[in-house]
Amino acid sequence: MPVIAVDGPAASGKGTIARALAKHFGLPHMDTGLLYRAVALNLWRWGGDPANEFEALRACDELGFDPADPELRREAVSEVASRISVYPGVRAALLKRQQQFARQEGGAVLDGRDIGTVIAPDADVKLFVTASPEVRAERRLKELESRGMNAHYRDVLADIRARDERDSTREVAPLKPAPDAIVLDTSKLGAAEAIAEALRLAEQRLASA
């Protein structure tokens, strides 16, 4: 059964695409960003310092969380998640859970930053979903507004750029397409079009395997 890796930067639409692929192929799905968010939420709740790697590591202990918890999606938590995900120890602490999920018998879909490069380098299909920072900022802004939150385009764009920079320049598992990944730029695609294109690419890759 296939393993499908979906990577990409913040607000690129990788989560929507990964969920659609999982549904289409009848596979279980893991949003690996939630693991980093869960660590961030732990740290944030007990007032730990994201600049302190030791404290971030402690926040990885006994990581139980509810994926539906809206607290995981708070902006403050996103910010902390982005900062603590640069620590090699934090990444190592979350590695096994992700690899076990990827290796389960029936196949799986995982989305994140380093699925095709580190977690599941042998994945049958690797998609790298991207879009321009401006388009991603628009999408994130709409998402925030739909959740009743106020934000300014300028700030959202600055945040997206800062996260891109941190994600792509960190030493361990930086955000970059695997050599054998298919890059899907969704800048000019609506959600339905992006999903249709991802399904087409995945079917094509699986048929040629």
The residue ranges that bind ligand CDP (CB under 6 A) are 10-11, 32-33, 36-37, 78, 81-82, 85, 112-114, 163, 167
What is the C-alpha separation between 29 and 111, in angstroms, rounded? 8
* Shortest distance, position 99 Cβ to ligand CDP, whole Å: 12
* Shortest distance, position 207 Cβ to ligand CDP, whole Å: 27
Q: What is the dihedral of CA 190, 110, 119, 48, to 10 degrees?
A: 90
Alpha helices in the chain (DSSP H): 14-25, 33-45, 53-58, 75-84, 88-102, 133-146, 153-169, 191-207
Which of residues 50 and 107 has its CB atom nearest to ligand CDP in the complex?
50
* Shortest distance, position 67 Cβ to ligand CDP, whole Å: 11
The answer to whether 134 and 157 have CB atoms below 8 angstroms apart is yes
Which of residues 78 and 203 has its CB atom nearest to ligand CDP in the complex?
78
Residue nearest to ligand CDP (CB): 33
Which of residues 73 and 203 has its CB atom nearest to ligand CDP in the complex?
73
Rounded to the nearest 5°, which phi and psi values hold at 150?
A: -95, 135
Which of residues 32 and 42 has its CB atom nearest to ligand CDP in the complex?
32
Cβ count near 55 (within 10 Å): 15
* Shortest distance, position 1 Cβ to ligand CDP, whole Å: 21
